[in-house]
Amino acid sequence: MLPAAQAAEQAPQGSLVIVGGALRADNAEIWQRVVKLAGGAGARIAVIPAAAANPVRSGANLAGYLNHYGASAFVVPLAVRLKDHDYRRDAEDAALAASIRQAGGVYFAGGDQALITQALVRADGSRTAALEAIWDVYRRGGVIAGSSAGAAIMSATMYYNAKTVFGTLSQGVNDGVELAPGLGFIGNDVFVDQHLLARGRFARMLPAMLKRGYKLGLGIDENSALIIGPQHEVEVIGYQGSLLLDLSQAKTSGAKEFNLSNARISYLDHGDRYNLATRRYTPSADKADGLLDPLKPEEKDPVYSTDVLGHNTVLVMLEKLIDNVQTEAIGIATAGPGEPFQELGFEFKFTRTADSVGYASATTDAYTILNVRLDVRPLQITRPWYK
């Protein structure tokens, strides 16, 4: 083990920009933040198109976007799908590694995250020369950014060959099948997932976190980003926000069907901050005076959904619950057409407790929602008796 002082010296001094996918070209806030963290106007940013179905096209487009916002971006010709290239040889090329190391930032394209690790990690699990150069950029203070697949690789564990969200609940997850090692830029104690609210993926985070022993999980939605600095401060920017899952006190019964009790779920909105080390929340400036009074709730209608995995459903439920006479909300998940376990379902119960806190924005219809209890239990679903 390294001495404490030496370990501290080697801790990354850079930042991460974790984008939940579907990043629009006109989302200036995110693109400009990547450029700023890479060094500002004229910053050299290495674009890694390894995950893309068409690396040439994707790499050129991403470099063009970054350059539009002031960078001096270049494409690193390293991808499994890059024609007339040997990605294993390219990953060990000293000149290519040097070009990455001299950059102020690295941007990973979206696509298939398995192709990123295939291109950058040796068969024995060690880092290629190119990946070591990327880590050097991060260690000395540069930015590592990525969208979709480029976000998935940020944690030490990533989804690999995933089933549907319901499939991960009904059939479980396995190392080497649904789960695989990521690149671990965020560290070993936080699980990251993307396309979160748009695809109901908060639910698939739960079995993965339990399988690998994660206590904290961050899921970021589309066209939105998590900015994580060297002091472990998380800031949310972009179109929407992030769900924080805390399993520190959660338990599972050990029954065959997936179940979970006493988890905590929070929603961090645009401009909110959360420190991963101290676990302290700071609402955005427009919500600073917007603390909701639990004794004077505005809503009174029951909160219920038959499709808790639907687009944005979990956020809508949390927003309706946090300022409500009702203290519980129920969401149901069932198998889609053709999926196995048609008679299995899951109840997601969200409970506002004494620790739950909500903030409302003064300028828009937006909320920060903290520490709502989450319990999940299996259900037996009765299908129609006729065919």
CA distance 387 to 381: 16
Total count of domains within the chain: 2
Nearest to 284 by CA among 304, 270, 302: 270
Instruction: Please report where in the chains the tokens 């639910």 appear, as a residue.
Output: 203
86 and 182 in one domain? yes
Domain assignment of residue 166, yes or no: yes
Query: How large is the angle between the packed helices 94-101 and 129-139, nearest 10 degrees?
Result: 10
Q: Are residues 209 and 112 in the same domain?
A: yes
Domain that holds residue 102: 12-265
Residue 323 in domain: yes
280 is a domain residue? no
Q: Say if pTM beats, i.e. exceeds, 0.85.
A: yes
Q: Is residue 349 part of a domain?
A: yes
* Domain annotation covers residue 230: yes
Q: What is the pLDDT of residues 318-342, one digit of tens each?
A: 999 999 999 999 999 999 999 999 9
**Amino acid letter, 164:** T
Q: Which DSSP state fits 157?
A: E
Question: Residue 171 domain-assigned?
Answer: yes
- 286: in domain: no
Q: Is residue 165 part of a domain?
A: yes
Whether residue 4 is predicted with pLDDT greater than 60 in this model: the reply is no
Pair (38, 175) in one structural domain: yes
Same domain? For 321 and 235 the reply is no
- Statement to judge: residues 194 and 108 lie in one domain: yes
**pLDDT tens per residue, range 256-268:** 999 999 999 999 9
Q: Please give the structure tokens belonging to residue 46.
A: 């290495």
| Percentages of the chain per state (helix, strand, coil), in multiples of 5 | 25, 30, 45
- Considering the domain architecture, whether residues 118 and 252 belong to the same structural domain is answered as yes
What digits encode the pLDDT tens for the residues 96-148? 999 999 999 999 999 999 999 999 999 999 999 999 999 999 999 999 999 99
